[in-house]
Amino acid sequence: MKFLVTKEPAGTKLITSLMAGVVFFIILYLGFDVVMHAYVIGADIQSVTLTLVGDSENFIEPVLIDTLLLQVHIDLFVTLFALMILTSIFIRFHERASITRWMVHLVFSLGMMTPILLIVAYLGWIWLVPVWISAFVAWHLLACLMGVMVLKKVVFA
C-alpha cells in the first residue's frame, strides 16, 4: 500500500514486477495487434481498400459488414482496456511532466477513433483509408512509447 501513497515503486518489489509485466504484455499486445490487422485488413492503402470494397474484375469480395462490425467491437473493447491500464500507470509515474496530458489525450483519441474511421471508410468514405492507417500506426507507436517510458521508470528506477 505504500506505493499507492508515495508513488514510488522502489520499496515494493512485487508492485514493480507486476507493473513491468503488465506493461511488457501491453507492448507485446500492441505489436501483435499491428500484425493481426495487417493480415486481416491490410497493411497499405491498396490492400485495405480491396478488403473494404473488393474488386469485381479480380473476383475479390468485400468484407462482410458483420465481420467488420465484430472486428471493430473487439478493437474498441480491447483498446479501451489496454489504454486504461497503460495510461493509468503512465500518469502515476509522469504526472508532473507537462507533456503527459497531451500524450494521454492523443493516445485515447487516436485509439478510439481508428475503429470508427474504419467503419466510416467501409460505409462509403473510402478516402479515409489513409487517415485510418495513419491514426492506427500513430496510436500504436505512441502507446509503445508510453510503455517504454513506464518500463524505463519502473525497471531502472
Neighbours of 145 (CB within 10 A): 14
CA-to-CA distance for 121 and 6, rounded, in angstroms?
Answer: 47
Look up cell 501483435; give the residue: 32
Q: pLDDT at residue 11 above 70?
A: no
Grid cell listed for 41: 485488413
CB of 2 closer than 8 Å to CB of 12:
yes
The string of DSSP codes covering 8-55 is -GGG-HHHHHHHHHHHHHHHHHHHHHHHHHHHHT-SSHHHHHHHHH-B
Residue 4 in domain? no
Q: Would you say residue 5 lies in a domain?
A: no
pTM: predicted TM-score of the whole model, two decimal places: 0.85
113-132 pLDDT, tens digit per residue, is 999 999 999 998 888 899 99
**pLDDT computed for residue 1 by the predictor:** 45
pLDDT at 80: 93
Quick one: cell of 105?
A: 489525450
- Over 70: is that where the pLDDT of 37 sits? yes
94 or 70: which leads in pLDDT? 70
**Predicted local distance difference test score (pLDDT) of residue 79:** 93
Residue numbers of the domain that contains 127: 12-155
Residue 3 included in any domain = no
Cell representation of residue 83: 489504454
Number of structural domains in the chain? 1
Grid-cell match 475479390, residue found: 60
pLDDT, residue 4, reads 52
Say which residue, 11 or 88, is predicted with more confidence. Answer: 88
Distance, CA of 133 to CA of 88 (rounded, Å): 26
